[in-house]
Every structure is written in C-alpha cells, then in structure tokens.
Amino acid sequence: AQSVAQPEDQVNVAEGNPLTVKCTYSVSGNPYLFWYVQYPNRGLQFLLKYITGDNLVKGSYGFEAEFNKSQTSFHLKKPSALVSDSALYFCAVRDDTNAGKSTFGDGTTLTVKP
Amino acid sequence: KAGVTQTPRYLIKTRGQQVTLSCSPISGHRSVSWYQQTPGQGLQFLFEYFSETQRNKGNFPGRFSGRQFSNSRSEMNVSTLELGDSALYLCASSLETGFGYTFGSGTRLTVV
C-alpha cells in the first residue's frame, strides 16, 4: 500500500522569505516521489521528482526538495518566495512495485504575500 | 511541442447517460494515466495504460473503463452516469514509468 500526507492545508509566507511545503509518505517498496503545482484553472505542472541518488533534488522555478528516508519525508523548499509562486501544491508517491499508480496528497495552498 | 490535449473541455450529461473522454498525449509518450479530481476526494487514480495495456487500476466501479490506441491516444468511458461522477477528469502522459507526468487541462464533467 502507498499513501502520502500533506499536513498543512495552507502555508502563508512573505515575499522574499524561504518557504517549505511539507510531505510525508508511506510505501511498501522504494518510493518514487513527485511534486506538482496547480495554478487556478490550469492543469498540474510537474516540478521535480526523486527516484534515486542525491537526497536534494532541484526542479523548476527554483524549487528543490529534500528526500529523508528515515523520516519518510519529501519537503518542498524554495530559498526566496515570489508572489507568483502562490498556487496549489501536490506531493505524489509511487511504490516502485506499483506500476503507473501515483497517490496524491490532498494539496497545500501556498500564498505568498508582497 | 504540443502538450497533453484533452477533449472536450466541458461536458454536461444527464444521469444514466454514458460519456467518452479523449486524451492525446505528448508525442513519444507511451504511458497515459487518468485521474479524477473533486473538492472532497482530491486526486484519485483511475487507471494507467502503457503501450495499449492497462497496467494498473484504481478503486473505481466497473462503470469506469478506458483504452489506449496504437498511437498512444487514450479514451475513458463512464457508463450509467451518476451525480457523484461530476468532477474534473485529468489525463497525464509520461515517457516511461518513473518519469514525471505532464497533465492536460482536464475535462470538466457535470452530471445533472
């Protein structure tokens, strides 16, 4: 079985400050982990993924995520937030034995205030 | 490079009818997945096709079905529509399993 949790429905940060959007997961095998962003009235956009290798993964728009196996976490981070980063963020996980089926978290709404 | 194209964008159907949604993946992508997005349930996995074979299926009733053609285009069909089927249906494509998915803009289905 696989599951993912995003413990915060909403994250508010000031522009220029660092941001973190949290994600924890549970899988039976090895995890494939993803972050997606959804802007209003638009589809999901892929930000980054972790399959194997370095625990710090860099993705689009200056985002990065840190894979922590012991804490089963994959938090999304950005050193300096922009107002344009305001959107709905989804973490997703797939067990490497579960072909094609990704489980998505409930999403976290990020609001960056000027 | 064209993205994932879903048609139609909007649909209004009556309870009991059936509906077919279409998805054209990015050229070269062989994996196509379908998701249902609703405010209450979030993103729920429907099924995934790879090279015309269904590789995985979510926990949806048999009224939900799909298929993939040799050109990787995919369709999903919902028969005997219920009010609870009202949702945004998202299609996503990927080169291979393990790659990040590119999502289409979705088809908004409303069942009345």
Any CB–CB contact under 8 A between B106 and chain A? yes
Instruction: Please tell me the number of Cα atoms within 13 Å of A18 on its side-chain side.
Output: 7
* CA-CA-CA-CA torsion sign (B11, B7, A32, A9): negative
Over pLDDT 70: what percentage of chain A?
A: 97
Does A100 contact B at CB distance below 8 Å? yes
| pLDDT tens per residue across span B52-94 | 999 889 999 999 999 999 999 999 999 999 999 999 999 999 9
pLDDT at position A28 over 90: no
Q: How many angstroms separate the CA of residue B102 from the nearest CA in chain A?
A: 6
In angstroms, what separates the C-alpha of B44 from chain A's closest C-alpha? 7
**Residues B45, A36: C-beta atoms closer than 8 Å:** no
In the predicted structure, residue A40 carries a pLDDT above the cut 90: no
What percent of chain A has a predicted confidence (pLDDT) above 90? 76
Q: How many residue pairs bridge chain A and chain B with CB atoms within 8 Å of each other? A: 59
Categorize the per-residue pLDDT at B98 as very low, low, confident or very high, splitting at 50, 70 and 90.
low
Residues of chain A in contact with residue B102, where contact means CB-CB under 8 angstroms, are 46
Side by side, which strands form the sheet with B19-24?
Answer: B5-7, B19-24, B74-78, B64-68
- Tell me if B48 and A43 make a contact (CB, 8 A cut-off): no
Q: Does B55 touch chain A (CB under 8 A)?
A: yes
A23 to chain B, any CB pair closer than 8 A? The answer is no
pLDDT of residue A99 exceeding 80, the answer is no
Hey, is the C-beta of A51 within 8 angstroms of any chain B C-beta?
yes
Cβ within 8 Å, pair A48-B33: no
- Could you read off the pLDDT of B1-33 as tens digits, one per residue? 679 999 999 999 999 999 999 999 999 999 999
Beta-carbon separation of A105 and B35 below 8 A: no
Give dist(CA B61, CA B96) in Å, integer. 27
